[in-house]
Amino acid sequence: MSTQLSTQALHAGHDVIKSQGTQAVPIYQTTSYVFNDSDHAASLFSLAEPGYIYTRLNNPTNDVLEQRLAALEGGVAAVATASGTSAIATSLMVILRTGDHIVASNSLYGGTYNLLSNTLPRFGITTTFVDPDDPTEFTKAVKSNTRAFFAESLGNPKLDVLDLKAISESAKKAKVPFIVDNTVASPALLNPIEHGANIVIHSLTKYLTGNGTSMGGVIIDAGTFNWGNGNFPEFTEPNPSYHGLNYHEALGNIAFIAKVRVEGLRDLGSAPSPFNSFQTIQGIETLAIRMQKHSENAIKIAAWLSTRDEVAWVNYPGLKTSKYNELAQKYLPKGQSGIVTFGLKKGFEAGKKVADNTKLFSILANIGDTKSLVIHPASTTHQQLDEDAQKTTGVTADLIRLSVGLEDVNDLIADLESAFSQI
């Protein structure tokens, strides 16, 4: 099969012969699966034989989605989850134990920032947040108990483009996996594994599904990290829940993703529904052409915003005026996605008014829809963070985030112009 993304997005993971000749991927809406006999069941439960047991662990529809996403990102295998947040949490809980430490970019989605800064410390897992504009900051923050680097390839909503290659080199020196959330860029625009990422995460809810109908997440394993380097006893010590299984010895380069499935999904339970996986599969089929259009519309709107007297600043990596433009040309030459942020000279209240008065731009807490979306993060998605934390994540009081959709760009500009007239 071709390795081109647009072809993989339509065909990867789906064996039409095994699915009774179905052109579309079937929805296997079942909780569980009939065993051939007791010995067959025993082999499945002991991991001696692959197969389906219970949809919390695996499902044929979910399996197609996982194979397709692994192919798109260049990974060895993937596990789908119920949401992007569950993908992040499950990945970290599978790797880490009490007393471990994470080094993370400070330009993260507010929910992720909250997970790392407030929730995980309750379990004895701490995080040092660093400015990703200087990759050496990751190295400086490493401690003896550091066990992971975490970053977003294109920050939400800061839109900072990370030098993934440089950060991955720091991760290698620290002997820790480099985990990259690639939600905003999507595999149509960027493959972090090509630049040294060991684990890639997506919120499928965003661009990959693309229509705002279904929630989901995915964890993709590059198969490139050495879990037997001495820092990860969870992978090298006998596991009592599987009769002393040593993941690293038994499973080699798929040790992590296997552990995500047989422990992460088993114990944390964040499996997606087969119907939501089916919806995401439909979205993936048009991913390449959608991301091209999202990017085209976004840069036109960013350029228009730059001409407006009401606007104090515009942030979009595709603009030549962006401090991230050089990195965008290196890592995102096919497009810079559909997110645009800007600030109004009249500040906080004006930002709320623009969000309130658009008609085509729907005001809601999501990105990546085919329809255009708008939100004022300081009063909504990031309002749980204090002012310093907001600034750290790239959220200022005046910031408006646009998720630019696939509508005619002139209609979108007219909608924003009308909203501007009311501030």
| pLDDT at 275 exceeding the cut of 70 | yes
Give the confidence band of 389 by pLDDT, cuts at 50, 70, 90: low
User: How large is the average pLDDT for residues 115-136?
Assistant: 97
Q: What percent of the chain has pLDDT over 90?
A: 82
Domain boundaries 5-283, corresponding CATH code: 3.40.640.10
pTM (2 d.p.): 0.94
Using the CB atoms, write b or e for 224-241: b if 16+ within 10 Å: bbbbeeebbebbbeebee
Q: What is the mean pLDDT of residues 98-114?
A: 94
Give residue 195's pLDDT band: very low, low, confident or very high (50, 70, 90): very high
Lowest mean pLDDT across 4-8, 17-21, 105-109, 368-372? 17-21
User: What integer pLDDT is reported at residue 220 of this predicted model?
Assistant: 98
Write down the mean pLDDT value for the chain.
94
Domain spans of the chain, in order of start: 5-283, 288-420
Both tokens of 119, joined, read: 């929730």
**Res 133: pLDDT:** 95
pLDDT at 276 (0 to 100): 98
218: nearest Cα among 25, 89, 84, 93: 84
Q: Bin 347: left if φ > 0, else alpha if -120 < ψ < 50, else beta.
A: left
What Rg value do the Cα atoms of the chain yield, rounded? 22
Q: Are 95 and 232 in contact (CB under 8 A)?
A: yes
- Give yes or no for residue 323 having a pLDDT over 70: yes
pLDDT, mean of residues 41-53: 91
Q: What is the pLDDT of residue 397?
A: 84
More confident residue, 324 or 381: 324
pLDDT at 384 over 80: no
pLDDT at residue 393 tops 70: no
Sorted by sequence, the CB contacts under 8 Å of residue 179 that are 6+ apart come out as 91, 92, 148, 149, 150, 151, 197, 198, 199, 200, 201
* 392 has pLDDT over 70: no
Weakest mean pLDDT among 13-27, 252-266, 321-335: 13-27
Would 5-283 and 288-420 be classified into the same CATH topology?
Answer: no
Mean pLDDT for the stretch of residues 155-182 = 97
77 pLDDT band, cuts 50/70/90, is very high
Q: Over the stretch 394-418, which tens digit does the pLDDT of each residue have?
A: 778 889 999 999 999 999 999 999 9
**Residue 271 pLDDT greater than 90, yes or no:** yes
- The pLDDT, as a whole number, for residue 145 is 98
Per-residue pLDDT, 321? 95
3 pLDDT higher than 80? no
What pLDDT score was predicted for residue 348?
Answer: 83
The confidence score (pLDDT) of residue 378 equals: 79
Q: Is the pLDDT of residue 243 over 90?
A: no
E strand segments, 318-359: 339-344
Lowest mean pLDDT among 251-260, 350-359, 368-377: 350-359
| C-alpha pair distances (Å), 182 with each of 106, 312, 382, 420 | 15, 29, 20, 32
Average pLDDT over residues 36-62: 93
Q: 14-23, 25-34, 215-224, 241-250: which range is least confident on average?
A: 14-23
Q: Which CATH number fits domain 288-420: 3.40.50.2000, 3.90.1150.10, 3.40.30.10, 3.40.50.720?
A: 3.90.1150.10
Q: Is the pLDDT of residue 390 over 80?
A: no
Task: Examine the pLDDT at 268 and tell me if it is beyond 80.
Answer: yes
Q: Is the pLDDT of residue 20 over 90?
A: no
Q: Using CA atoms, how far apart are residues 230 and 344, in angstroms rounded to an integer?
A: 51
